[in-house]
Copies of this chain bind each other. A is one copy, B any other.
Amino acid sequence: MEGKNAVILLSGGLDSATVLAIATADGFRCHALSFRYGQRHEEEITAAVELARAHGVVEHVVIDIDLAQFGGSALTAEMEVPKHSDVREIGQGIPVTYVPARNTIFLSFGLAFAETRNADHIFIGVNALDYSGYPDCRPEFIEAFQKVAQLGTRAGQEGPGGVHIEAPLINMDKAEIIRRGRELGVDYRMTRSCYDPVGQLACGHCDACLLRKKGFDGNGLQDPIAYA
């Protein structure tokens, strides 16, 4: 794989930081892609910039897309982010923090970026075990998008190898993800997961904070970031 180009969807969170480390370790030349999409937690972008630099990516593009123009999610509109005191309280079903079609949009931009960079691989940090019910994080969604990538692009139709959507975390739980990332030297202090930070501090009670803490707990570790 030496020297092959890959696009990495890099949110600045724990999962995508780990994926960046995996792709780098696999020998890909990494082109990081982040989105400023009207999310409340703009800290994420700062984290993504720092992570991209730390892992020596070839380039890092930040795309502005105004999903807030549509509204409809607690992450982009004026809704309350649900808080819990324990990870077992995370609800079943799709939570209000679901951002309509977010991963479809991110992967679509990833496709465009990949085609213009001769990248045959797009890495995305979805995982279907420790997640909070988002439909666009499931394996069957990724498979369906793989087909779109193949059929809807020049690279898929005329390129030598097509376009491959890589979701290396899809069957890992948070503890395994953190274990793998630590082996590869990810500095999780740089990452941001919280949906509703209090200034620079993570809230500690949204789904993202609870799942993250569960991952560190599972390794007998303390999460290195600061909580409110």
Contacts and interface: CB of A to CB of B under 8 A. Distances in A.
Contacts of A180: none
- Among A64, A93, A103, A141, which residue has the most Cβ atoms of chain B within 10 A? A141
Given A64-B66, A102-B112, A94 B152 contact: no
Top 8 closest pairs, chain A to chain B, by CB: A72-B116, A100-B115, A101-B111, A101-B112, A136-B152, A100-B112, A144-B147, A105-B108
B116 A157 contact: no
Contacts of A102: 112
Contact of A153 (B63, B113, B136): B136
Nearest to A154: B94
Contacts of A144: 144, 147-148, 150-152
Contacts of A89: none
A150 B141 CA distance: 9
Specify the main secondary structure of chain A where it touches its partner: helix
- Among A63, A72, A112, A144, which residue has the most Cβ atoms of chain B within 10 A? A112
A151 B158 contact: no
As for how many copies of this chain the complex holds, the number is 2
Contacts of A156: 135
28 contacts: A61-B70, A63-B66, A63-B69, A64-B66, A65-B65, A70-B112, A70-B116, A71-B116, A72-B112, A94-B154, A94-B157, A94-B158, A100-B112, A100-B115, A100-B154, A101-B112, A104-B108, A104-B111, A104-B148, A104-B149, A104-B153, A105-B105, A135-B152, A135-B154, A140-B151, A144-B147, A144-B150, A144-B151
Contacts of A147: 144, 147
- Among A102, A136, A140, which residue has the most Cβ atoms of chain B within 10 A? A136
Interface in A104-140: 104-105, 107-109, 111-113, 115-116, 135-136, 138, 140
